[in-house]
Amino acid sequence: MRILPALPEETLFSRCVRTRDVNGMTAEHFFRSFLNNIAHSLHPSLTTSLNILTESTAETGHELWLNQTLVPLYAWALPEYRAELEDLTISAARLHTLCKLCRFTEHYTAVLKHCPVCVHADIRKYGVAYWHRQHQISGVTSCHHHQVNLNHIADPRLSSLHLHFPYNREKMISLSGHDDFEFAKFTASALSLICQSAPGFVSYDDSPLIAGFLHRLSAKNAPTLFEKINHLASRSGNTCKALFPVRTNMVSQWKALLYNPSPQPPARTLLLLYCLHQLKLS
C-alpha cells in the first residue's frame, strides 16, 4: 500500500489523511500500516518519521521534508539547529521543542487553515480539497492566491486524522486586507526561495535586507527606523495581531528579532523582511 501522490502545494499531512480516507482506514490502521506504530500523531505542517513514510512514497525523505512540510522554514529561522532539523529521524517531541511547540500534545488543538476559494478550485480541478502548505504558516491570515481570509479549523484530537477535507464549513468568504494579502504572497515566495537555498535565503542572518538594515542603524536613527517598520507591520492588521498578540513596546519586540539569541517564530522574521522590503533597504 502506498501513500497517495501529492497535489500542488499539498502538505504531507494532507496526503496522509487523503490516503486514510480513500482506503477506508481507521487512524490506528494507518499508523500501524505506514508508521509501524512508531508514531501515533501527525503534526499538520511539521511532520516527523519521514525516514519511515518515504518507504511508502515515490519521493525521498529529504524531498518530503523540503517540499511538503514547514520544517525548512524553521531551519532557515534557526540556523544553529539546522543540522538537527534536517535529521529525518528526529523525534516529534524534539522537533516540537526546537520549534517552540510545547503545547502540541494530544490534549490541545492543532489549527489548520484553508482558503474557501482554493477549496472550490481544487474540487473542480482535482476532485478533492486538500491542505495547502503555504496556508499553514503561522501568522498568515490571507490566501496567497486569492485576496480572501483563511478559515480556521481546530482538531482537538491530533491523532484522529479525521480532518480529511478542508470544506468551507462556515460557508463564508470574506476579503482580506490588502497588506495581509501582500504579506501572504511575500511569505509564499520566501518559502519557495528558502526551499531552493537561493542566495540570501539560506538562513535569516544571510539576508541582505537585514544586513542593509543593520548597516544603516545608528543610535540616532534607530527609533525612527523601527517606528517605520512598526507602521508598515501595523497595516497588515490581522497578520500583526496574530504574530504579536501583545502590542506593547513594539520597538523592543522588533529589536529582539535582530539581537535576541532566543528563537523567534519564523513568520515574525518574515514580517520584518516584508517591512524592510517595503522600505527598499538592502
pLDDT bracket for residue 73 (50, 70, 90): very high
Q: Which helix (H) or strand (E) holds 96?
A: helix 92-98
β-strand partners of 111: 154
- What's the rounded Cα separation, in Å, for the pair 234 and 98? 28
C-beta separation of 256 from 263 below 8 A: no
pTM: 0.89
The distance in angstroms from the start CA to the end CA of the chain is 50
What pLDDT digit, counting tens, does each position of 204-250 carry?
888 898 888 888 877 667 778 888 898 899 999 899 888 887 767 78
Structural domain spans, the chain: 200-279
- What's the rounded Cα separation, in Å, for the pair 205 and 77? 8
What pLDDT digit, counting tens, does each position of 183-203 carry?
999 999 999 999 999 998 998
β-strand partners of 154: 111
